[in-house]
């Protein structure tokens, strides 16, 4: 089987979903050929730079404007959607050399622009290749909808009715959830994890996934959280946000510390630093991490995660049954994700004011509330999305009369 996954780098979640699906397919069928392409970058590095930098600027610098643009584009007849259609029709043929070279049996997209460009080419040429579109958020948007898409992978059953209301045939809708790495379904021995990290397994743990926060934002939310009189410890993962890591490190360094554990990677860049502190201001033992490829382990160690509601991070938390505290959702898809999670009792909203401290105190002081949130998440979870998508891929290949591609050994 030859699978081409078309994605884009506007937000890290689209590529993470693509890689998660690729890893699963290769683990099940090592003879398959799976290629991931950053679609807009492939077509035009200049266009990709404009789109990605424009996305980051709007989302971080002018979030209200971003929300307005997102909302205004969520209808059929808008200037933005028409512009996307025109651009897709203009650049569609630039995908053809890649298709001729790779000769995919099936297309999977994890970004609406990628789906739009491929379907424009499919409409123009009539190429008989099935396409699956993975919606990487918890609310639908008009940009995902296209008549030539054979199947949509949705995050919830609620999205099925939303799509039907927009005229999509129900038989194309599969609420399997967003693909995440298989490691998130792996069970870690909690006691051993805490022991290896030099942390206390007997007190609650709050995980802060901070890479997509602004520096000021994460310091503010951390300060509000540790003001709580409840007894808990904190893990902060900044990802590859060096500015955030360095600023946070300096912030913690101003505190009187009595224990520091430092680990260095091969490039001598601090990978993780644990600061166990007791000082006059209300504080909590805190582990500051620059980067880790074991997010799933830390999610299983935690009793709660504080994060922005991006589709992939949320899906990873769901896979591990981890209650969420949502902070600073960007207007648009993140705000819709947050509303959905709160409505389904899987998350709480953390505000900038002192109510954040009260919310954290209430949850940590009443573990039954966190347990109820975790149960709601486990009840909601769709299981292994990648496994279900792989089965669907085989069904579509049969439907297109290309059943022999399923078990064909690729070089």
Domain of 107, CATH number, reads 3.40.50.2000
Locate tokens 């709580």: which residue? Answer: 228
State the burial class of residue 184 (Cβ atoms within 10 Å of its Cβ: 0-12, 13-18, 19+).
Answer: buried
pLDDT tens, 103-149?
Answer: 999 999 999 888 988 888 888 888 899 999 999 999 888 888 999 99
411 within a domain of the structure (yes/no):
no
**288 and 153 both lie in a single domain:** no
Residue 269: pLDDT over 60: no
pTM of the model: 0.86
Q: How far is CA 193 from CA 139, 190, 239, 257, 297, in A?
A: 35, 5, 20, 23, 7
Residue 394: pLDDT over 60: yes
Run of H or E including 175: none
Average pLDDT over residues 26-35: 94
333 within a domain of the structure (yes/no):
yes
103 within a domain of the structure (yes/no):
yes
**187 and 65 both lie in a single domain:** no
Residue 276: pLDDT over 60: no
Q: How many domains does the chain have?
A: 2
Per-residue three-class SS string for 276-328: EECCCCCCCCEEEECCCCCHHHHHHHCCEEEECCCHHHHHHHHHCCCCEEEEC
Q: Which two tokens stand for residue 186?
A: 């792996």
**240 and 215 both lie in a single domain:** yes
**47 and 173 both lie in a single domain:** yes
Residue 280, pLDDT score: 40
- Give CA–CA dist 376/361, Å, rounded: 21
Lowest-confidence region among 206-220, 222-236, 258-272, 331-345: 258-272
State the burial class of residue 97 (Cβ atoms within 10 Å of its Cβ: 0-12, 13-18, 19+).
Answer: exposed
Predicted confidence band at 268 (pLDDT cuts at 50, 70, 90)? very low
Residues in the chain: 411
- Give CA–CA dist 405/53, Å, rounded: 39
- Give CA–CA dist 186/176, Å, rounded: 19
188 within a domain of the structure (yes/no):
yes
pLDDT tens, 40-72?
Answer: 888 878 877 877 777 776 777 777 787 777 777
Average pLDDT, the chain: 85
Residue-range definition of the domain harbouring residue 331: 183-380
310 within a domain of the structure (yes/no):
yes
Most confident of 209-213, 300-304, 324-328, 381-385: 300-304
**332 and 216 both lie in a single domain:** yes
**216 and 315 both lie in a single domain:** yes
């Amino acid at each position: 089987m030859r699978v081409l996954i078309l994605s884009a780098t506007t937000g890290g979640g689209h590529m993470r979903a693509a890689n998660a699906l690729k890893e699963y397919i290769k683990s099940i069928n090592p003879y398959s050929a799976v290629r991931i392409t950053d679609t807009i970058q492939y077509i035009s590095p200049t266009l990709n730079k404009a789109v990605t930098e424009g996305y980051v600027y709007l989302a971080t610098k002018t979030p209200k404007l971003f929300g307005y643009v997102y909302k205004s584009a969520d209808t059929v007849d808008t200037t933005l959607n028409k512009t996307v259609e025109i651009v897709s029709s203009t650049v569609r043929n630039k995908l053809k050399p890649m298709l001729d070279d790779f000769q995919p049996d099936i297309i999977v997209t994890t970004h609406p622009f990628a789906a739009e460009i491929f379907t424009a080419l499919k409409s123009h040429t009539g190429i008989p290749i099935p396409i699956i579109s993975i919606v990487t958020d918890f609310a639908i948007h008009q940009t995902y909808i296209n008549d030539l898409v054979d199947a949509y992978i949705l995050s919830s059953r609620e999205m099925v009715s939303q799509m039907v209301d927009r005229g999509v045939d129900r038989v194309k809708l599969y609420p399997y959830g967003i693909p995440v790495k298989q490691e998130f379904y792996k069970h870690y021995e909690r006691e051993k994890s805490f022991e290896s990290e030099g942390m206390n397994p007997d007190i609650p743990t709050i995980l802060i996934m901070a890479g997509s926060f602004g520096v000021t934002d994460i310091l503010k939310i951390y300060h509000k959280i540790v003001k709580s009189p409840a007894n808990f410890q904190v893990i902060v993962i900044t990802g590859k946000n060096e500015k955030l890591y360095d600023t946070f490190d300096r912030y913690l360094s101003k505190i009187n510390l009595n224990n520091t554990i430092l680990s260095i990677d091969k490039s001598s860049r601090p990978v993780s630093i644990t600061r166990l502190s007791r000082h006059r201001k209300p504080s909590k033992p805190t582990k500051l991490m620059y980067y880790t490829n074991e997010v799933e382990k830390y999610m299983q160690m935690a009793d709660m995660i504080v994060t922005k509601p991006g589709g992939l991070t949320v899906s990873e938390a769901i896979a591990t049954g981890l209650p969420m505290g949502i902070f600073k959702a960007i207007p648009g898809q993140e705000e819709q994700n947050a509303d959905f999670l709160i409505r389904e009792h899987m998350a709480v909203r953390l505000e900038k004011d002192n109510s954040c401290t009260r919310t954290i105190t209430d949850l940590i002081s009443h573990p039954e509330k966190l347990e109820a949130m975790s149960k709601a998440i486990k009840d909601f979870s769709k299981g292994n999305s990648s496994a279900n998508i792989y089965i669907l891929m085989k069904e579509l290949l049969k439907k297109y009369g290309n059943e022999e591609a399923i078990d064909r050994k690729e070089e």
